[in-house]
Structure 1
Amino acid sequence: MKPICYLGFSTAIIFSQMLVNGQTAAPKPLLEQAADPVVLTIGTTKVSKSEYEQFINALPPQIQTEAKGPNKRKVAEQYAELRLMAEEARKRKIDQTPAAKIQISLQQDQMLAQMLFRDLQTSVKMDDAAVQKYYDEHKNEYEEVKARHILVRFKDSRVPLREGQKELSDAEAMAKAQELKKQLDGGGDFAALAKTESDDTGTGAQGGDLGQFARGSMVPEFDTAAFSQPIGKVGDPVRSAFGYHVIKVEERKNKALTEMKDQIEKTLRPELAKAEVEAIKKANSISVDDGYFGK
Structure 2
Amino acid sequence: MDKKDLNGNENLENNGTMEEELNTSEIINEEVEVAQVAAEEPVNTTKADSIPVMNKVGANNATPPTPPTAPRSNKAWMIASIVLAAALIIVLVVQKDDSKKAVATVNGTKITKEQLYDKLIEAGGESTLQSMITTELVDQEAKKANVTVTDEDINTELEDLKAQFGGEAAFNAALSQSSMTVDDLKKQMPLQVKLRKILEPQVTVTDDEIKEYYDTNKATFSEEEQVRASHILVETKEEADAILKQLKEGADFATLAKEKSSDTGSKDNGGDLDFFKRGDMVAEFSDVAFKLKVGETSDAVKSDYGYHIIKVTDHKDAKDYTLEEKKDEIRKTLVSQKVSALSSTWMSETTEKAKITNTLTDAKEDAAATAEPTASAAAGNESTK
Judge same fold: TM > 0.5, yes or no.
Answer: no
Report the structure number with the largest CA radius of gyration: 1
Bigger relative contact order (CA 8 A; separation at least 6) = 2
Give the structure with the larger helix fraction: 2
TM-score relative to the length of structure 1: 0.34
